[in-house]
A = this chain, B = another copy of it.
Amino acid sequence: MKIYEMKIAPNPRRVRIFLAEKGISEVEFVEMDLKNGENLTPEFRQKSPLGKVPVLELDDGRCICETVAICRYFEEIQPAPSLMGTTPFDKASIEMWQRWMELYFLLPTGMSFQHSTGYFADRMNPIPEWGEECRSQVLKFLDFMDDHLKDQDYIAGNKFSIADITALCALDFNRVNKIGIAPKQKNLKKWYERVCARASINA
């Protein structure tokens, strides 16, 4: 199996941490140069129609795009340790939290970066006012997370899950937006230290 990625980007990092947590190491990583559009060639679009990374290529040539879909594949072929839940309620609840971390934290984080800096201005239409709006959504969401974490150790309850991986990668990527944990966000800080103690985060 091969994974096409760009190491500094947050989505490939989510997959690497997920694999490290599961102890899966038999995957080859192929580094792509997104800034220079290596992901936009017709050849790469055969693997990833929308030109995104990461992409998982199986040994038979079939490909799976989208971070969470790639994680789902590995969760299915190697269920333990579970990062996406085992009971119907836990699976649904972890999916809910994972989605919130993605839709209301990672997504506006990336759009704040792209729309404010014009990093991908050759292939998209940056709207600085939208970048600013996304930035303020991220700041508000950090308060929501801090409040949520007052009663529990991990994002989706008392067990580390894919929701923590998404949140961690979104938080760390916010260095590009010069956003970090505020001094008053003490629960968030404790959670961050707890998660950063795991070996997987260096994957």
Contact = CB atoms under 8 A, between A and B. Distances in A.
Interface in A58-86: 58, 62, 64-66, 68-70, 72-73, 76-77
Contact of A91 (B66, B76, B125): B76
A148 interface: yes
A15 B96 CA distance: 14
Nearest to A58: B89
A38 B70 CA distance: 37
Q: Main SS of the interface on chain A?
A: helix
Interface string A44-66: 00000110000000100010111
Interface stretch (A24-32, A127-135, A179-187, A194-202): A127-135
Given A130-B127, A130-B129, A133-B125, A70 B49 contact: no
A89, A95, A96: most-surrounded residue (chain B CB, <10 A)? A96
Interface string A117-128: 000000001010
Contact of A96 (B65, B76, B95): B65
A192 interface: no
A177 interface: no
A116 interface: no
* 4 closest A-B pairs by CB: A76-B88, A73-B92, A69-B96, A69-B95
Given A58-B89, A66-B96, 15 more contacts: A49-B148, A50-B100, A50-B104, A50-B144, A64-B89, A65-B96, A66-B99, A68-B95, A69-B92, A69-B95, A69-B96, A69-B99, A72-B91, A73-B91, A125-B133
18 contacts: A64-B89, A64-B92, A66-B96, A68-B99, A69-B92, A69-B93, A69-B95, A69-B96, A72-B88, A72-B91, A73-B92, A76-B88, A127-B127, A127-B129, A127-B130, A127-B133, A129-B130, A130-B130
